[in-house]
Amino acid sequence: MDSYIYTYVSFEDERSLRDLEMRSLFGSESETNILESNVKIDPSRSPFIKDRIAVIFEGESFQELLEKVAAFEVIGETFKVIYVKSGDESFESRRKIEREVGLKINGVGDIENPERLFAVRNVNGRWVFGDYVKGESVWFRHQQKPHQYSTALSTRVARAVVNIAIPDPNRIKAIDPCCGIGTVLVEALSMGIDMVGSDYNPVILAGTRENIAHFGYSTEVKFIDMREISKHYDVAIIDLPYNLCSVISPEEQLEMLQSARRFADKVVVVTVEPIDQILIKAGFTIVDRAVAKKGTFSREVIVGK
């Protein structure tokens, strides 16, 4: 069975959201910044994953790993070996390990422009070697969109929320029925997820469509009250309105979530107010949750089925 090692990087106030995303993507979480799993995920999907090693060899000692690597042949492409730091190893020691491993491989090395990148690292006392992929901060580029909205989720949080809602995009149809300026839509579309959007605020929808087109994506964005949505979706991401221009009562929240119960099998709700009882009354079972913090401001991310 394939084995993958992921390196996580997050701030302390992101830990709750990071762990929920981890549970959603991998079915488990790690107490450290290293996660080992049989699940293959593109590290660029997560705002918290730094890199991934697809394990080819492992050894209880560095010498044992070297012996296994010595039988490895790279045909038809150049390669480079990097050492993934796991402690306070010095620059010199890391370079030494890279050279030792690289010289054992039967193939053509290329430090400048390798066609294949390998990594070696120490993981919980054992040594591993495998194909290396570094994550790309796609969400960071999406910060520079033509239209901003003061209460919109950050692109980093939005990307994590999409992963929590849709860990496996295969054959999933999703909707953001309160899409606002399109922050969640852009993150979902950038991951190849089939997601449409709608909102009951006609003023912002032109900006929503322009934001999506700005990054080269396209999808349906409708002006419609979510209570009137008739199509069925596998999952809905609902960032409940909460600013001074969008105050909604508990009764309206219940109507919105009852509508979501009708048109979606699963919801991920982002809220600044306690809504457990409203979600339950709407017919959902709360299966997981996290808190997304930014300074003193926090939102709850709740998964309901």
Element (H, E) at 198: strand 194-199
Same domain, 192 and 243: yes
**What DSSP string describes 271-301?**
ESS--HHHHHHTT--EEEEEEEEETTEEEEE
β-bridge mates for residue 25, sequence order:
none
pLDDT recorded at residue 246: 56
Look up residue 36 and give its two tokens. Answer: 């080992």
Q: What is the CATH number of the domain that holds 273?
A: 3.40.50.150
In the chain, the N- to C-terminal Cα span, in Å, equals: 31
Same domain, 249 and 104: no
Residue-number span of the structural domain to which 24 is assigned: 4-134
Query: What total number of domains does the chain contain?
Result: 2
For residues 275 and 69, give the distance between their C-alpha atoms in angstroms, rounded to a whole number.
55
Same domain, 39 and 149: no
Same domain, 80 and 182: no
Same domain, 203 and 288: yes
pTM of the model: 0.94
pLDDT recorded at residue 247: 65
Same domain, 74 and 206: no
CB 256 within 8 A of CB 246: no
Same domain, 166 and 300: yes
The residue among 117, 134, 151 that closes a domain is: 134
For residues 293 and 297, give the distance between their C-alpha atoms in angstroms, rounded to a whole number.
6
Contacts of 105 (CB under 8 A, 6+ apart): 69, 72, 73, 74, 79, 81, 118
Q: What are phi and psi of 179, to 5 degrees?
A: -70, -15
Same domain, 168 and 275: yes
The residue among 134, 153, 179 that closes a domain is: 134
pLDDT tens, the chain, 305 aa long:
799 999 999 999 999 999 999 999 999 999 999 999 999 999 999 999 999 999 999 999 999 999 999 999 999 999 999 999 988 889 999 999 999 999 999 999 999 999 999 999 999 899 999 999 999 999 999 999 999 887 789 999 999 999 999 999 999 999 999 999 999 999 999 999 999 999 999 999 999 999 999 999 999 999 999 999 999 999 999 999 765 445 688 899 999 999 999 999 999 999 999 999 999 999 999 999 999 987 778 999 999 99
What letters, b where the CB count within 10 A reaches 16 and e where it falls short, cover 97-135? bbebbbebbeeeeeeeebeeebbbbbbeeebbbbebbeb
Q: What is the CATH number of the domain that holds 119?
A: 3.30.2130.30
pLDDT recorded at residue 1: 78
Same domain, 294 and 230: yes
Same domain, 205 and 276: yes
The residue among 83, 115, 134 that closes a domain is: 134
